[in-house]
Chain A
């Protein structure tokens, strides 16, 4: 029973990480919020472009050594990430990767797939939120195209 469950998580990880066009419209399939400082996040329906712009800059400085949007670098590509996992999970993964890797089953499954652990980059909560906004904007921009 446990084995089947584990396989499920691994498969889920592959799927979350793949982030192909078909999946981007689905509700977050991974329900977990992860472990870390972000418990509940209330998001506005609209994107804050200023915050997203700041997030893009932070992404370039702190994330781009290992992540790209449209392809795997070291870690998974991040197109569609806001549709694959909850916003809380994204922020916790940015702010608290070490504990996430110890306790969160999806984070662990991703490590099993990519082998290199997500590294802490000392972002503030505000900075992590901006990166999330950048992801949301990116996904919002790319989703209609994908829907065609």
Chain B
């Protein structure tokens, strides 16, 4: 009997603690909600650009809300707006292997001025059929795609130098260079890798391959270029120094250390000037958007300049790095280089100034195919043991902290890279790959949030069957402890991401294409100019769209066997009034034409009949009426070509 009051008391105590705990959680949740809440009609503080991985595109999100703003079509066709289907955009996806409708995007990279993202362009790699794309951040439109020859698996790409002098590419999969038929078993010593330096025009952004450095056939994984004192250098991580060609899971994980390649691109420029480059025949495509003619142009290139490290002393050094490093990241000062150890729980922080000294004093531990391997201890700043399991990538704040994503232990670890001390850790859900702080790989991080880009989603959202969206998480890093704020799903797999203060991009926004600047060869700007012309079996329809009609909207005289090109010019000069165009039985897609733009849809009617076409984008109260008909007659019919519509 006497014990009862105790029991009651303890139960009460548990209840009280529980209530206080619940209240605390609620308060925390409320606090987090406040931090990510963006009121209706308000803008987010940051743009975040997340790679779409296997969807081949870029996802644009607002932070801190996590709202999806746009999917920018890049390397994959996009039936939603006709990217890669319309005649104007098809040449953008041309490669040495022909038209390629898909790729795998991994690393968005903002252009930088003085080591700070400037909001002009966004670059991204295609991993599968090696390419780099440049997206114009005024229009959020892919402006250029350049193919990288002599490469396989363009993974360590397209990381930028401090003033976007270059964006780089590298071979994750080494290959015979030049490509040829040979036994795979002869990999060792015969397969090669390349580091490609793509020059970026500082005014127009136009890309061109400046040179390729021919390197041993390891697997080059990631990269980042130097800044401040290390400006002039780029660093490439690598695995498989074993040069295995099969069962890499085990065979490429034998050695205690692999390498980081330190590449002195200013030295490369000197060697090129001294004529040490060699011209090599190859084939690759350079595709760009001609703004005046409003269409993509494809040009075939047939040679590159190759630099061999043996012929240009001081061009490449290898830094021994624990077990298959993944990321390689440079701190805002440009002095510290932090790799991701991947298979090592110990992280080694390297010092750039020590590296220069080691080179000067020839502190070498041998060489790999003639490339000097620096003494590990000579370059090492600090070893940090027991950081976490599976460290992959690092981003920095302005306060001397680095944030490391740990795939296996599924957490972010915050630690001080100069001192080598661990400050904080936070679990993430689940299995994080990259992480991103807006500007977190630049000289001036906007260090308010870190975004965890997770590989596994599982139960984080309402389930959608076996196939789930990916998961990102927003974490507040302004306090002593990291604070989880928000989960949001992402489309495709976000590998790396970039973030930037919104106003830097906002001020560049293009709202319409001005009709007077539209010099598309098939543009028409008034009903009087619209026409339908036949050249053999090709018929060109030059059409206008304006709220709320197409002119012409009745077309006759098309015959079975004809190929019809509908060139539709949107005459609107008002923001956010696109018109769409779809025609019955089209085997490609619809097109979404922005104000002032001309786009072309190809149509091959199969049989006689009268087929409707219509606007696919709800544009005005009379949108449903925005329709028309094409009459298709038999092959041998004598129906004259004619057209009619409003304003004619």
User: In the complex, which residues of chain A have a beta carbon less than 8 angstroms from the beta carbon of B525?
Assistant: 61
Interface membership of A117, Cβ < 8 A: yes
Closest to A122 in B: B573
Shortest distance from the beta carbon of A59 to any chain B beta carbon, whole Å? 9
User: Which interface residue of B514, B547, B571, B622 has the most chain A CB atoms within 10 A?
Assistant: B547
Could you give, for residues 260-296 of chain B, a 1 whenever the CB lies within 8 Å of some chain A CB and a 0 otherwise?
0000000000000000000000000000000000000
Q: Is the interface of B mostly helix, strand, loop or mixed?
A: loop
B: contact size bracket: 20 to 34
Contact across chains for A61 and B526 when beta carbons are under 8 A apart: yes
Distance in angstroms between the alpha carbons of A119 and B620 in the assembled complex = 11
Contact across chains for B548 and A116 when beta carbons are under 8 A apart: yes
Interface membership of B248, Cβ < 8 A: no
Pick the contact of A74 from B514, B572, B646 — CB < 8 Å?
Answer: B646
Closest to B596 in A: A122
Pick the contact of B528 from A64, A74, A115, A119 — CB < 8 Å?
Answer: A64
Closest to B514 in A: A122
Distance in angstroms between the alpha carbons of A73 and B526 in the assembled complex = 13
Interface membership of B621, Cβ < 8 A: yes
Interface membership of B387, Cβ < 8 A: no
User: In the complex, which residues of chain B have a beta carbon less than 8 angstroms from the beta carbon of A98?
Assistant: 574
Scan residues 119-136 of chain A and give those whose CB is less than 8 A from a CB of chain B: 119-122
Shortest distance from the beta carbon of B545 to any chain A beta carbon, whole Å? 9
User: Which interface residue of B527, B577, B647 has the most chain A CB atoms within 10 A?
Assistant: B647
Pick the contact of B527 from A64, A116, A117 — CB < 8 Å?
Answer: A64
Distance in angstroms between the alpha carbons of A65 and B551 in the assembled complex = 8
Contact across chains for A65 and B621 when beta carbons are under 8 A apart: no
Contact across chains for B574 and A74 when beta carbons are under 8 A apart: no
Contact across chains for B548 and A65 when beta carbons are under 8 A apart: no
User: In the complex, which residues of chain B have a beta carbon less than 8 angstroms from the beta carbon of A121?
Assistant: 515, 571, 573
Contact across chains for B526 and A115 when beta carbons are under 8 A apart: no
Shortest distance from the beta carbon of A109 to any chain B beta carbon, whole Å? 15
Contact across chains for A65 and B546 when beta carbons are under 8 A apart: yes
Q: Is the interface of A mostly helix, strand, loop or mixed?
A: loop
Contact across chains for A60 and B574 when beta carbons are under 8 A apart: no
Contact across chains for A115 and B622 when beta carbons are under 8 A apart: yes
Could you give, for residues 209-243 of chain B, a 1 whenever the CB lies within 8 Å of some chain A CB and a 0 otherwise?
00000000000000000000000000000000000
A65-B646, A68-B647, A73-B646 known; A120 vs B528 contact (CB < 8 Å):
no
Scan residues 513-532 of chain B and give those whose CB is less than 8 A from a CB of chain A: 514-515, 525-528
User: In the complex, which residues of chain A have a beta carbon less than 8 angstroms from the beta carbon of B621?
Assistant: 115-116
Distance in angstroms between the alpha carbons of A120 and B514 in the assembled complex = 11
Q: How many residues of A contact B (CB 8 A)?
A: 17
User: In the complex, which residues of chain B have a beta carbon less than 8 angstroms from the beta carbon of A41?
Assistant: none
Distance in angstroms between the alpha carbons of A103 and B52 in the assembled complex = 44
Closest to A115 in B: B621
Shortest distance from the beta carbon of A118 to any chain B beta carbon, whole Å? 10
A115-B621, A116-B547, A116-B620 known; A64 vs B577 contact (CB < 8 Å):
no
Contact across chains for A116 and B622 when beta carbons are under 8 A apart: yes
Could you give, for residues 526-563 of chain B, a 1 whenever the CB lies within 8 Å of some chain A CB and a 0 otherwise?
11100000000000000010111101000000000000
Interface membership of A66, Cβ < 8 A: yes
User: In the complex, which residues of chain A have a beta carbon less than 8 angstroms from the beta carbon of B647?
Assistant: 64-66, 68, 73
Distance in angstroms between the alpha carbons of A120 and B572 in the assembled complex = 7
Contact across chains for A119 and B527 when beta carbons are under 8 A apart: no
Contact across chains for A66 and B546 when beta carbons are under 8 A apart: yes
Pick the contact of A119 from B549, B573, B622 — CB < 8 Å?
Answer: B573
Could you give, for residues 98-124 of chain A, a 1 whenever the CB lies within 8 Å of some chain B CB and a 0 otherwise?
100000000000000001110111100
Distance in angstroms between the alpha carbons of A65 and B527 in the assembled complex = 6
Could you give, for residues 64-82 of chain A, a 1 whenever the CB lies within 8 Å of some chain B CB and a 0 otherwise?
1110100001100000000
Shortest distance from the beta carbon of B59 to any chain A beta carbon, whole Å? 31
Distance in angstroms between the alpha carbons of A61 and B524 in the assembled complex = 9
Shortest distance from the beta carbon of A10 to any chain B beta carbon, whole Å? 17
Closest to A63 in B: B526
Distance in angstroms between the alpha carbons of A61 and B647 in the assembled complex = 11
Shortest distance from the beta carbon of B387 to any chain A beta carbon, whole Å? 57
Q: 29 pairs across A/B with beta carbons < 8 Å?
A: A60-B528, A61-B525, A62-B526, A64-B526, A65-B526, A65-B546, A65-B551, A65-B647, A66-B546, A74-B546, A74-B548, A74-B549, A115-B620, A115-B621, A116-B620, A116-B621, A117-B547, A117-B620, A119-B546, A119-B571, A119-B572, A119-B573, A119-B574, A120-B573, A121-B515, A121-B571, A121-B573, A122-B512, A122-B514
Minimum-distance CB pairs A-B, first 6: A115-B621, A65-B546, A122-B573, A116-B547, A61-B526, A116-B620
Beyond contacts A66-B646, A116-B622, A117-B547: 8 other A-B pairs, Cβ-Cβ < 8 A, are: A64-B527, A65-B526, A65-B546, A65-B646, A116-B621, A119-B574, A121-B515, A122-B512
